[in-house]
Amino acid sequence: MALGRPQWGAVRARIAELAPTLPAVPLGEVELHLPFEVADYTDFYSSEHHATQVGRILRPERPGLQPNWKHLPIGYHGRSATVVVSGTRSNGPPASSARASSGPPGGWTSRPRWVSWWACRAGAIGPADFAEHVFGVVLVNDWSARDIQAFEYQPLGPFLGKSFATSVSPWVVRSRPCPARSCRRRRRTRSRRSTCGPRATAWDLSLTVEWNGTVVSSPPFAQMYWTPAQQLAHLTVNGASVRTGDLYASGTVSGPNRAQAGSFLELTWNGAEPVELGDGSVRGFLEDGDTVTISATAPGPDGEPLGLGSVTGTVCR
């Protein structure tokens, strides 16, 4: 990753050359690990639909979308030490109902958010340099204890509500430079270094979310307001640099309707509208033993879907 794009291409070409001669090993016979050592981890908040709907849930007395949201990509710095590979059981905080927002929470109920992510190479980065620094794409489930988050984020940001586990897929899909992109008109922002200009990259990923084997959502990634290039530029706009192995996330992916809700907070409207799963069980929040899987595909160069694999996690307290 540190050697840069020319070496990435050379290694990829050599692997493609050798692949037909190598024996295939069934996935069930191997143990998958983190695809790279995570240096730093940053989570953005780039879906306008998600930000608006969560704002309506957590701040019903105020407008869903805050005035600053469309001026710059909002994000927070997470804990790289708790990034785990797909299939790892998520040891979340103990489950119980949150108390009223005026008092401290009585416990935590994990509620996941669905995201697609990128790994990047060292150096301060402008929007035009995105393809030279971004190594590839992974899928991420940034698990959230929303009741703790709702209580602790005032006046700062997420802390214990998001620090216990972040699951990533074991596959990094190399960008060459963007295998899943389509260009579309993008609004200009006031932060000149944080914008990709009048045209920007919109990654056309098809996401599927399963709750205990039942498909409950299909969020549209192409509708994300802030692009990966804008996010990366904003991450370094104040002089902050990145390191090889940095992981940064788009944030929860959501669409305008319930079938496209990217977080269970939205899907169940904070538990008020539970969903029925395929086995007849009803869920407002995640329970012990529940399994969540996010998978994704992108348009391939020949028109065939390009698989991005999946990321799976099981709640275990």
Instruction: Mark whether 71 is an active-site residue.
Output: no
Is the backbone of residue 123 left (phi > 0), alpha (psi -120 to 50) or beta?
Answer: left
d(CA 273, CA 255): 18
Q: Per the structure block, which two tokens stand in for 193?
A: 């270094």
Cα–Cα separations (whole angstroms), residue 255 to 6, 47, 222, 223: 37, 8, 10, 7
Candidates 33, 49, 50, 133; catalytic one? 50
Other Cβ atoms within 10 Å of 85 Cβ, number: 17
- Write the single-letter amino acid at 88: T
Reported as half-sphere exposure (CB side, CA atoms, 13 A), residue 14 has a value of: 6
d(CA 185, CA 36): 34
- Gyration radius (Cα) of the chain, Å: 19
The SS3 assignment for 231 reads helix
Contact between 50 and 254 (Cβ < 8 Å): yes
Q: Are strands 291-299 and 206-211 parallel, antiparallel or unpaired?
A: antiparallel
Catalytic residue annotation: 50
